[in-house]
Amino acid sequence: MNAAFATVRRYAGIYAALIRYSLIHEMQFKANFLLWILVEGLWFGLQIAFMTVLYGHTDSIAGWSRWEVVLLVGCNQFIQQLFHMLFVTNLSNLSELIRKGTLDLLFLQPVNTRFLISVKKFEIGNIANALMGLAVVGYALVKLDRVPSVAQWLGFVVVCVAGLAIHYSLMFLLACIAFWTVRAQGIVWGYYNLFNIARLPADAFPRGAYRAVFTWVLPMLLVSNVPAKLLADRLGSPWELMPLIGMAVVCFVASELFWRMSLRHYTSASS
């Protein structure tokens, strides 16, 4: 027990140092830092504008009202921006680490390598965009006249963590393909396309191959839909949370197995 506690403390200390370093690095380019927040905010505005225009022509999409869909887009933004803050830059960088052989250096550190690869750079600016997402969630809830219970908010935290775990595991898994192909930028880019469907109401998709794949293989239709449904009180029973949590565990285990398999394939580029 004490040993486990010491490990957690050690890793928390390392993470704090990494965050501090990222912050110092980021503050060298203040104007750029602010511009990026603006760019991300602009894209978020676009998503909401798109939905607003659609609801100019209809009152409901697959049973979702206007503000329920705004809530969904907000939840998606919140989760996606947290994902950007913690992982995206790091995972996109994995193929470069492999190509240049810089990964060797990380192997030699007395820390779990996967941990270092995953969290090395902390994108502080995305906090602002995640909060924008949360603000939109709050506004949509007011419009819907909904006050989620404490249990629902706690559930929201749990499902957001599960959604993050899914995004992280899938993108990590895709990034590991670089151990074979070396260049994997295209694959990482492809993940951005998958992102895009997460903010659409899953009920709009007819039962069939497309919906099945994006629920049970690449669970994009769960990650934002389930949190939004929870807050909007659209869940039939708490059991509807289980597919998301279950898929998070499955994806994480799959990514760890693939990571270990990939490592056996690693041939250093530097020497």
Partner 1 sequence: MGKYLHVFGLGIQNTLVYRINFLFRAAFGLVPLAGTLFLWKSIYAGKEPGAVLGGYTLAQMISYYLLVTLVDAVTAVAEDDWQIAADIKDGQVSQFLLKPMDYLTYRLCLYGSGRAVYTTMALIPVSVFIVFQRENFVLPSDAATLSVALASIVMAGILQFFIAYMVALLAFWVLDVSTFIFIQFAFEYIASGHLFPLDILPVALQKVVLLTPYPYLLYFPVGVYLGQIRGVALWQGIGMQAGWILVAYLGARWMWSRGLRTYTAVGG
197 binds partner 1 (CB under 8 A): yes
If the CB atoms of residues 210 and 266 are measured against partner 1, the closer one turns out to be 210
36 binds partner 1 (CB under 8 A): yes
Binding-site member from 135, 151, 204, 242 for partner 1 (CB under 8 A): 204
For residue 270, the Cα-to-chain-centroid distance in whole angstroms is: 32
With 0-12 CB in 10 A as exposed, 13-18 as middle and 19+ as buried, what is 5? exposed
If the CB atoms of residues 207 and 265 are measured against partner 1, the closer one turns out to be 207
Instruction: Kindly determine how many residues on this chain lie close enough to bind partner 1 according to the rule CB under 8 A.
Output: 33
Cα–Cα distance measured from residue 199 to residue 234, given in angstroms and rounded to the nearest whole number? 16
28 binds partner 1 (CB under 8 A): no
If the CB atoms of residues 175 and 245 are measured against partner 1, the closer one turns out to be 175
60 binds partner 1 (CB under 8 A): yes
Query: For tokens 């049973």, what's the residue?
Result: 63
42 binds partner 1 (CB under 8 A): yes
Q: How far is the CB of 232 from partner 1 (least distance, A)?
A: 18
Q: How far is CA 73 from CA 27, 43, 79, 270, in A?
A: 30, 12, 10, 44
46 binds partner 1 (CB under 8 A): yes
Q: Which of residues 96-135 bind partner 1 (CB under 8 A)?
A: none
Query: For tokens 């990590």, what's the residue?
Result: 172
If the CB atoms of residues 75 and 245 are measured against partner 1, the closer one turns out to be 75
Candidates 84, 80, 76; CA nearest to 229 is 76
Binding-site member from 1, 4, 53, 108 for partner 1 (CB under 8 A): 53
Alpha helices in the chain (DSSP H): 2-26, 30-55, 66-83, 89-92, 94-100, 103-108, 113-119, 126-144, 150-176, 178-181, 185-195, 209-216, 220-223, 225-232, 242-264
If the CB atoms of residues 78 and 195 are measured against partner 1, the closer one turns out to be 195
Number of Cβ within a 10 Å radius of residue 103: 22
The residue ranges that bind partner 1 (CB under 8 A) are 29, 32, 35-36, 38-39, 42-43, 46, 49-50, 53-54, 56-58, 60-62, 186-187, 189-190, 193-194, 196-197, 200, 203-206, 210
